[in-house]
Structure 1
Amino acid sequence: MSLIRSTAACVIQQGERFLMVEEQRGGPQSVFNQPAGHIEPGEGPVAAILREVVEETAWQVSLTGYLGLYVFHTSTGETFHSHGFIAEPLQQLDLPLDPDIFATHWLTIEQIRSLDQQARLRSPLVLKRIEDALSGTCYPLSVIRE
């Protein structure tokens, strides 16, 4: 029986750079991801991503669009339904980062593609969401009814 997990992730762009988090996931090297995480019971995707961005980056953001629902199947039989968002940064807050996060980085698309070639992105969805955001793929936030 496959386990389905509901998550949310956010592409945050400032100029030519994207806000990424660096985290340890059990392998020999750290991996990079957008701010992302699980949608908690009683929470919708919009509330979840705003919470996750603050917890993982200490940035307050304004959501500007919805990239869509990404479905990802892992080799271990898990299925992730990941809601992708686009946001603009508003202000950095004086808060500690989630303990699983080593650091945050503002990276260019070239740097992110280089990390992908080194197998240092958390999943294939990381680069896909950024490429979708850059291509203009976006839906109004109103398509989500929480």
Structure 2
Amino acid sequence: MSYRQGRFWQPDVTVATVVERDGRLLMVEEKAHGRLVLNQPAGHLEPDESLFQAAVREALEESGWDIRLTAFLGAYQWTSEATAARPARHYLRFAFAGEPVAHHPGRPLDEGIVRALWLAPEELQARASQHRSPLVWETVADYLAGRRQPLDLLRQVP
């Protein structure tokens, strides 16, 4: 058991999905800490859901797209920098590849999400200063490099 500053320490477990259509990647613009940033459809794992369920749910809630997961890209560990306004946070991100299935354009998006958009990888890379975290490009770079693992690499044990 790890303790930090006299309390139990636990990282934020998140999921993200790289979704490609016609050479473009599904991204979301969102407001975070007073900035407009870019991210994959991503979010926190909720109690009693699998990593797969969380990834599909977050894609729908943040982009209005139903997706089908096709592969596991990897697990990424990252610590945000502390600021005067907030302490450092520790993230463990599980990233997936997916394909779009159906769009629900009238569906309201999660709070803070401005819009979903499709960007070519070079457009996303050119906007690196707007990435929510370094995890955005790391997962895309792995996807573009062909990194894929079977989904059954991850298992939820009852």
Structure-1-length-normalised TM-score: 0.94
1:133 to 139, 143, 153: 143
> How far off its partner does 1:15 sit?
1.4
How many residue pairs align between the two structures? 143
> How far off its partner does 1:3 sit?
4.1
State whether structure 2 residue 26 is matched by structure 1 residue 50: no
RMSD (CA atoms) = 1.1
* CA–CA distance in structure 2, aligned partners of residues 17 and 63 of structure 1: 17
1:65 to 68, 71, 77: 71
Give 2:29's aligned residue. 22
Unaligned runs of 5+ in 1: none
* CA–CA distance in structure 2, aligned partners of residues 109 and 68 of structure 1: 19
> How far off its partner does 1:99 sit?
2.0
Which amino acid in the other structure matches residue 25 of structure 1? A
Ranges of 4+ aligned residues in structure 1 off by more than 2 Å: none
1:92 to 90, 103, 108: 103
> How far off its partner does 1:26 sit?
2.0
> How far off its partner does 1:13 sit?
0.5
* CA–CA distance in structure 1, aligned partners of residues 11 and 33 of structure 2: 21
Give 2:90's aligned residue. 79
Deviations 1:7-61 (A, max 9, x none): 000000001110000001123x300000000001112211101110010011011
SS at match of 2:127: helix
> How far off its partner does 1:127 sit?
0.8
- Contact conserved, 1:3 with 1:78, CA < 8 A, in 2? no
* CA–CA distance in structure 2, aligned partners of residues 124 and 103 of structure 1: 21
State whether structure 2 residue 121 is matched by structure 1 residue 121: no
- Identity, % of aligned positions: 36
1:112 to 111, 120, 124: 124
Unaligned runs of 5+ in 2: 83-87
Which amino acid in the other structure matches residue 139 of structure 1? Q
SS at match of 1:42: coil
> How far off its partner does 1:142 sit?
0.2
* CA–CA distance in structure 2, aligned partners of residues 24 and 74 of structure 1: 17
- Contact conserved, 1:71 with 1:82, CA < 8 A, in 2? yes
* CA–CA distance in structure 2, aligned partners of residues 103 and 75 of structure 1: 26
